[in-house]
Amino acid sequence: MNKQNRIEIPLCLTITDLVFEGEKTATFSFHLPANLELDPIPGQYFMLWLPGDDEIPISISQIENNEKIQFTICSKGQTSANFLRMNKGDLVGLRGPYGNGFDISDKEVAIIIAGGMGIAPLRFIISTLISRTQKKILLIHGARTHDELFFKEELNNTDIDIRYCTDDGSFGFHGFPTIILEEILQKAQQKNLSHEIYSCGPEKMLKGILDIVNQFNLEKNAQFSLADRYIRCGFGICGSCYLDGVGLSICRDGPVFRGDVLQKITDFGSFGRNANGSKYPL
Amino acid sequence: MTELQTLIGTVRIRNPIILSSGIWGSTYSTLNRAYKEGFGAVTTKSVGLNPRKGHPNPSVIYIPEIKSILNAVGLANPGYDAFSEELREINHEVKYSVSIFGSSSTEFQQIIQHMDNNLTGNTPIAYELNLSCPHAKKVGIAVGTDPNIVYTIVEACKVRTKVPIWVKLTPNITNIKSVAESAISAGADAIVAINTIKAMMIDIHIKKPVLGNISGGLSGQAIKPIGVRVIYDLYERFGSEIPLVGVGGISSWQDAIEYILAGATAIQIGSALIDYDAPQTLVHNILNGLNEYLSREGKSFSQLRGLAHE
């Protein structure tokens, strides 16, 4: 059993800061009570409750001193849209941290691939890798368009190498992050360095990444966050987010999975499930 | 090893521990996995006529102080048509029962008939009628507390199928025995008890109910003494003539034995899975504990049933 401390019953905290990253995306800050010692791991998530509305899973975007915690929310449904109408000082219920996060690993090079909102949980692993390891870090930062390359300035102020790409060519390479990844892995073959791959973004992109890392036999060294899927309970009981294949849950066994595990998940990259359990094509 | 094969009416399962409804059982892959990890049988999540997305979240809250879960999922399901397609994917060795809810006997009949027609390759061991969900309108508890309605529903299901009909009852009633009596006289093959107990939680800072549905049902360790009492009462009333499946707060072999001494033929487990990354450990712990207890007592499993009444 996971011995990590966790808030089980929603704890209502005030929004201490709210910063818009783009038109439909904002980062919310909260101060966790000091005595909780939650020690969240990058890739883990909280359930964020908007009283009177609904509760949604949101990956941790950053945490400082185990106290100031941040979540980046993009408006894509009714509840996330309502979150973006909140103000500093409003109350939000938090429970978590939940799920299986990213492993730091002992590999020499970290390749991080972000697609759109996928940068949010990866921002937390990047800061963790910078503060705790000497790894060479390479970020492939992709989005549909320039305005959706969130945290660009913040990440530019670090020492990591960044390659940008946009679907519409408005900034950086005109194309998908997977093309850059393939190029990098081909070049890396000539150098005798070990690699760990961290990725988060649309599931179609993650599927593309899995196909590429398979070609390089790196599936065991590739970690994927499937945080985009529907989650209800957060602790593996209700069955709403279980994946086809071997019967793993997103909320407890995931949201971070290694590539060799994802290979056994038969609906990965093709079907998701909504709140009533029906399948829908991705 | 003692023989733990269990007979529930005409249904034989490899051990008496069944995965309860509402936990895990939304997909074929979890039902397969739960069976593979050791359960004697598994129960699907309840299915109804039409797709339902359930109540808004929070809909499932764990309360660590009492090792219990408060839920108001609200019978989320994809509807019987899509769900029967899901169930067709279940591995053939898996013993499973299909939990069904409805608001009338014709709804139950329609679902059962469809399941019977679609699951011919791998027939369920039973249909478990959910006459006891406490947090959905017009179904569950709304039909499961009136002995006459219970009789009509069970009778209608019995004429429609050869698959055994198990009836899951609610403890949220003054006299559960009268409802059980209706179910049994209408032909129920087993009684499953108990479903969750009506409950709620209020956040003292925002001064509002926490569950999206305001109220829900409590499961887990806090309700075990209530479940044991219900099984004891049912056995007292009906003796060994009707199989009783005990459910409510079981998380150890001691809990399982308590239910069996009270009169249960088999038991179901759900909320206790929260403490385990895989059900395997929990199921094995209970089976091992049962075996050792039976060896110490020099009794067979079936001899244990209802001993607290002697």
* pLDDT greater than 80 at residue B207: yes
Q: CA B222, B147, B165, B11 torsion: positive or negative?
A: positive
Q: Which of A93, A237, A279 sits opposite B203 (nearest CB)?
A: A93
Structure tokens that stand for A162 in this block: 């960044």
Contact assignment for A233 to B271 by CB distance below 8 Å? no
**pTM: predicted TM-score of the whole model, two decimal places:** 0.95
* pLDDT greater than 80 at residue A154: yes
Looking at residue B2, what is its pLDDT? 57
Residue B44 CA to residue A61 CA, distance in Å, equals: 36
Among A169, A153, A121, A119, CA closest to A139: A119
Please state the three-class secondary structure of chain B as a single string.
CCCCCEEECCEEECCCEEECCCCCCCCHHHHHHHHHCCCCEEECCCECCCCECCCCCCCEEEEHHHCEEEECCCCCECCHHHHHHHHCCCCCCCCEEEEECCCCHHHHHHHHHHHHHHCCCCCCCEEEEECCCCCCCCCCHHHHCCHHHHHHHHHHHHHHCCCCEEEEECCCCCCHHHHHHHHHHCCCCEEEECCCEEEECEECCCCEECCCCCEEEEEEHHHHHHHHHHHHHHHHHHHHHCCEEEECCCCCHHHHHHHHHHCCCEEEECHHHHHCCCHHHHHHHHHHHHHHHHHHHCCCHHHHCCHHHC
Residue A188 CA to residue A194 CA, distance in Å, equals: 9
Structure tokens that stand for B20 in this block: 């309860």
Residue B133 CA to residue A201 CA, distance in Å, equals: 38
Å between B277 CA and nearest CA of chain A: 6
Domains of chain A and any CATH numbers: 7-98 (2.40.30.10), 109-229 (3.40.50.80)
Q: pLDDT class for B73, splitting at 50, 70, 90?
A: very high
Residue A81 CA to residue A85 CA, distance in Å, equals: 7
Residues of chain B in contact with residue A275, where contact means CB-CB under 8 angstroms, are: 53-54, 76
Structure tokens that stand for A231 in this block: 């989650």
Place of tokens 């992050």: A177
Looking at residue B203, what is its pLDDT? 95
Residues of chain B in contact with residue A53, where contact means CB-CB under 8 angstroms, are: 56
Contact assignment for A55 to B27 by CB distance below 8 Å? no
Q: Which of A1, A237, A240 sits opposite B69 (nearest CB)?
A: A237
Å between B11 CA and nearest CA of chain A: 26
What are the tens digits of pLDDT across the range B251-307?
999 999 999 999 999 999 999 999 887 889 999 999 999 999 999 999 999 999 999
Residues of chain A in contact with residue B32, where contact means CB-CB under 8 angstroms, are: 247
Looking at residue B177, what is its pLDDT? 94
Q: What's the mean pLDDT in A125-150?
A: 96
Percent of chain A with pLDDT over 90: 89
Mutant choice from A232, A246, A265 vs B, greatest count of B C-beta within 10 A: A232
Catalytic residue among B133, B176, B228, B294: B133
Beta partners for residue B8, in sequence order:
B11
B175: exposed, middle or buried (C-beta count within 10 Å: 0-12, 13-18, 19+)?
Answer: exposed
DSSP state of A32: P
Q: What's the mean pLDDT in B4-19?
A: 96
Judge whether A1 is closer than 8 Å to chain B, CB to CB: yes
What are the tens digits of pLDDT across the range A35-69?
899 999 999 999 999 999 999 999 999 999 889 99
* pLDDT greater than 50 at residue B23: yes
Structure tokens that stand for B175 in this block: 């006299």
CB-based contacts of A129, cutoff 8 Å, min separation 6: A104, A110, A135, A137
Phi, psi of A70, rounded to the nearest 5 degrees: -125, 145
> DSSP 3-state assignment of A154?
helix
From residue A12, give the alpha-carbon distance in Å to each of A52, A69, A99, A230: 13, 14, 21, 22
Residues of chain A in contact with residue B82, where contact means CB-CB under 8 angstroms, are: 277-279
Residue B73 CA to residue B58 CA, distance in Å, equals: 9
Q: pLDDT class for B149, splitting at 50, 70, 90?
A: very high
Is residue A226 within 8 Å of residue A250, measured between CB atoms?
A: yes
* pLDDT greater than 60 at residue A172: yes
Looking at residue A16, what is its pLDDT? 97
* pLDDT greater than 70 at residue B158: yes
Å between B133 CA and nearest CA of chain A: 15
Q: What's the mean pLDDT in A269-281?
A: 91
Residue A194 CA to residue B171 CA, distance in Å, equals: 59
Q: What does the mean pLDDT of chain A come to?
A: 94
Residues of chain A in contact with residue B69, where contact means CB-CB under 8 angstroms, are: 237
Contact assignment for B76 to A240 by CB distance below 8 Å? yes
Phi, psi of A151, rounded to the nearest 5 degrees: 65, 25
* pLDDT greater than 60 at residue B250: yes
Domains of chain B and any CATH numbers: 6-309 (3.20.20.70)
Structure tokens that stand for B10 in this block: 């005409």
Helix axes B80-87, B28-36, angle to 10 degrees: 40
B133 is catalytic: yes
Q: Which of B63, B83, B277 sits opposite A8 (nearest CB)?
A: B63
Q: pLDDT class for A188, splitting at 50, 70, 90?
A: confident
Residue B297, Cβ neighbours under 10 Å: how many? Answer: 12
* pLDDT greater than 60 at residue A1: no
> DSSP 3-state assignment of A140?
strand
Looking at residue A90, what is its pLDDT? 96
A192: exposed, middle or buried (C-beta count within 10 Å: 0-12, 13-18, 19+)?
Answer: exposed
Q: Which of B62, B78, B206 sits opposite A235 (nearest CB)?
A: B62
From residue A64, give the alpha-carbon distance in Å to each of A20, A22, B192, B228: 19, 23, 50, 48
Å between B61 CA and nearest CA of chain A: 6
